[in-house]
Structure formats: C-alpha cells, structure tokens
Amino acid sequence: MTVPDLHSLQTRLAAHLDWWGLRHCESDRAYFEWQQKALSPDQLASLHQAVEAKQSHPQRADLETAFYDLSADPTILPVLYSQRYELYQTLGPLIAALLAAEGPARGTVLDFGCGVGVLTTFYAKVFSNLMVVGLDRSGASVKAAQERAQALGLTNIRFESLDIERTPIPGPFDMILSVHALVQAERELGLPSRDWTTFERPQEAAAQQAFEQRTGLGPRLDRLCGLLDQEGRLIAFEKTRELARRIPFQRALAARGLILTKPPLPLRYRVVEEVSDDGPLYVAGRSAAPSKVQPGHEAEPWDETPEERGEAISSVASLLARVRTAATEALSASRDPLYENHAASAESVWRNLPNRLVRREQTFAAPTGAQVHVELGESDGLRYLYQATTLDHRQLVLVEPARAALLEAYYAELLPKQPGK
C-alpha cells in the first residue's frame, strides 16, 4: 500500500474536521466564549453533572456511557469534541500512515472506542480498500457516527454499539486501534516502585492483576487479543505516559504475547491551552518464532526506565560548576533557586552531590499511599532540598547559604500536617 506523506494527511484531516464542525481554538477564553454562545444553560449544567458523575465513579460504565450519549447531541458534539482538535491532528495522520505501512492491501480495521467516529470516518475516507468497523458502547455516539458516515457517502465502514466485555463481536481483524479506550480510570495512580530510592517495580502478579481490574484493561485487552489476526497489529494510544501507569500497561501487553514492532512514540498536543503529554503510541503484534523473524523486523525491547525530560545531564560536576557561578551573582531577595530539577535525572544529581551532609529528613506515607522522602542538607557550600516518591516524583532544589531559609520553609510545607495544626 502506498504510504501518504504526513503533510497531505494533516491537510486532508483539517478539511475533515472542518466538515464535522470542529474548531481549533487558540485560547481558553475563545473556546469558552463559543461554548457559552452555542450551548444553553441547561445543556451546560447537564454536561457538568455528567462529567462529575463519571469522574466520581470511574468503575460505573453506565455513567461513562451516559456522558458520551449526551456529548453526541448534534448541538453539543462540535463544541465538546473541538477540545480534541489537536489530539486528532497529532494522532490521526500518524495512525493513517501506520495503517498504510503496517496494514494489508485489503483487510479489516477495528476502531475500538470510536466515539462519534471523527477519526474512524477519516480512515475510511483515506483507505477505500479497507473495511473499517467502529465499536463503542455509547448508542447515541454510534448513531451519530452512522449518520455522518452516510452523509459522507462511505460504503466501507460500519458501526456497532456494544460492550466488548459482555457481547462478542466476530473477527479477526488485521488492525485494531484503541485511543483512550483500554485504560479507563484517569485518576488511577498505577504501580508504586519498590521504595523511594528506585524506579523499579517488583514482578508481583497480584498487583498487576489488581491494576488491570481497576482500570478495566485486563478484560478489554483479552477480548481484543482474541480478535487480532495472527499477523495483525494493535495500535494503542492510552493515558499511560507516567511510568507508574506505563509499566503495568506494557506488562499487560507482553503477558498476552504481544511484542513491539516499532519504538513507542511519546506525543504532545494541546487541549485548547493545556499541554497534554499522553501515550506513548504503541504498535504491537504477536510474538513470532525467532526463525520466522525477518532481518530488520526484530522486536523492540520493553523499556521500564523513566523517560528523560528536560535538559540532558552529561556531567554533575560541570552542572554544579555552573550553579556555583550563578551563586556569586544571585540576589538574596530573589525567590528563584539556583537550580531546580523535577525530572527523573534529579535522582542522579542528588546521588552525586559532593560531600553531601543530611541535616534533616523524613520518610512517610502520603494520602495517595505513596511513600514520600523529603531531605534537607548541604553540599560543598550549597544548600539543597530533595524529594522522592514511589510514584516517580523527583525534585532537587539548590540555593546558596544566604537563602537557606527558603528551603527550610519549603521543607516544612512538604511534611505531613499534624492533627490540629
């Protein structure tokens, strides 16, 4: 199959989103002004109530379905789904290119959790040689998708409204797509590390099973794997960017005999003004015998190390030299630290602080259940504060001695509050 270039796919998708009535809003103010004009007070109130109910009871599939049924209203749909405009523009062309590169010349594609079918109809438009099936448990969303597909004159697409955990669907499929549909618990924190000193997770079957049960990942993934052709591909983009969620998600894929056929791709897009780091985008297939693996198509390794973000640190010594230089120019009235790091690399810098002297430290359990360590100390004429948790948060702050009181106050803020205080 000829692989279209990303620029042409983005151009086609922009026209497609415009046909759907979606808008690209540059600011929260512009978006909410449009929302207030387009929707009635009763519609806004109903949306807020549905969102609150869905978030308060993440295990209630009926409340989630009720929210998406409401969002499929023809007046609400273009306004609400415009929040996903950049998600569609970021993800849609990439998945379309993967369908061309990884899929068969003729075959079947399942879009699991298709919603109202914005991207589903786009894939069917681009690939007339493929049969695209959209699946969602929101009946109103599927009805809206069917109406839009008919209006577009698409004959290589159909939609089904059912809960895959309860009702079987015939397969197999050459390609299965899942975007924000496998891991449904947005507030799920994931698996904690062994302790605050490491990012490693123990191989505990009970903890993994509990994660899959809480998020609904296990039963959904079992059903989808049963529908995937032996040589098929699963393309998944879930809210699993944080390591505590990424590791159990990857272990769930691996436990079902899936291997990575491409390196996972972290993506960044905006939800109006808010930047969202999601993913990574996974492309996985079934394991094959080593004798059947073609050169250049070996499986990618599953990576359980934290993602490095921000400035790469090649030498702690050179970093500290820059910090000491900055200390000579620092203003005592400033509240900005000489150095602050919230990335995983903060741990390696902290470990390599020369002549580290701990003045105060405390390790405790946070309300989330995570183990938290907070430490205040000195290192070769500098003062530091370090914080680490079993849910992968790391923070290192350095100041000169003249501003040590700032770290003292911050240290006190991070400690658990005593009853009555």
Q: What is the pLDDT of residue 292?
A: 43
Backbone angles phi, psi at 229, to 5 degrees: -60, 155
Q: Supply the CATH classification number for the domain 6-292.
A: 3.40.50.150
pLDDT tens, 261-317?
999 999 989 998 888 878 899 999 987 544 444 555 567 899 999 987 766 677 888
Number of other CB atoms surrounding residue 365 within 10 Å: 11
First-last CA distance in the chain: 67
Q: What is the pLDDT of residue 309?
A: 73
Q: What is the pLDDT of residue 294?
A: 52
Q: What is the pLDDT of residue 297?
A: 54
Average pLDDT over residues 362-379: 95
Q: What is the pLDDT of residue 296?
A: 53
Number of H helices, E strands in the chain: 14, 13
Average pLDDT over residues 179-199: 92
pTM, entire model: 0.91
Instruction: Check pLDDT > 50 for residue 225.
Output: yes
Number of other CB atoms surrounding residue 351 within 10 Å: 11
Q: What is the pLDDT of residue 384?
A: 97
407 Cβ neighbours under 8 A, 6+ residues apart: 376, 383, 384, 385, 397, 399
124 vs 135: CA distance, rounded Å:
14
pLDDT tens, 40-90?
999 999 999 999 998 888 778 888 899 999 999 999 999 999 999 999 999
Q: What is the pLDDT of residue 289?
A: 44
Report the percentage of the chain scoring pLDDT > 90. 75
Tokens at 238, concatenated? 């879930």
Q: How many residues are listed for the chain in this entry?
A: 421
Contact 185, 178 (CB under 8 A): no
Q: What is the pLDDT of residue 290?
A: 44
Instruction: Check pLDDT > 50 for residue 166.
Output: yes
Confidence tier at 331 by pLDDT (50, 70, 90): low
pLDDT tens, 90-149?
999 999 999 998 878 789 999 999 999 999 999 999 999 999 999 999 999 999 999 999
Can you give 369-413 as a three-state secondary structure string? CCEEEEEEEEECCEEEEEEEECCCCEEEEEECHHHHHHHHHHHHH
355 vs 408: CA distance, rounded Å:
20
pLDDT tens, 375-421?
999 999 899 999 999 999 999 999 999 899 999 999 999 999 866 55
> Which residue ranges make up each domain of the chain?
6-292, 316-414
Q: What is the pLDDT of residue 317?
A: 85
Average pLDDT, the chain: 91
The packing angle between helices 85-102 and 6-19, to 10°, is 130
